[in-house]
Amino acid sequence: MLNEQPFTMTIHLVNTRAQCNDIIVERNRRTGTPLSIVETNCTLSPNNVSGSFSFNLPTHKSSVRVGINGPYFIGALRICLNGQSYAETEDSAVHELHELDVCTLFYANNQTIGRSTDFIVRLIKVINVTKPLHRNDRTYYGGIFAPFITYTDILSDELYFAEKGEYLRYSSRQTTVNIQLREEIYFVQNNQSPIIRRGALFFHTLLFSISLIEIFAMFFLLYKLWFHPIHQRIQRSQDNPAEDVLQS
Q: What is the pLDDT along the chain (248 residues), one digit of tens a residue?
A: 788 889 999 999 998 888 889 999 999 887 778 888 888 888 887 777 888 999 999 889 889 999 999 888 888 999 999 999 989 888 888 989 999 999 999 998 888 888 889 999 999 999 999 888 777 888 899 999 999 999 887 888 777 677 676 666 666 788 899 999 999 988 899 988 877 666 677 777 888 888 888 888 888 888 777 777 777 777 777 666 555 544 55
Cβ-based neighbour number of residue 125 at 10 Å = 17
pLDDT, residue 167, reads 60
Residue 247 identity (one-letter amino acid) = Q
In what order do the strands lie in the sheet containing 93-97? 35-37, 23-27, 63-69, 174-192, 116-130, 139-152, 93-97, 86-89
Q: Residue 113 burial (CB < 10 Å; 0-12/13-18/19+)? A: buried
pLDDT, residue 25, reads 92
pLDDT, residue 166, reads 66
Residue 231 identity (one-letter amino acid) = H
Cβ-based neighbour number of residue 119 at 10 Å = 21
Cβ-based neighbour number of residue 148 at 10 Å = 13
Question: Are 72 and 100 a contacting pair, CB within 8 Å?
Answer: no
pLDDT, residue 226, reads 77
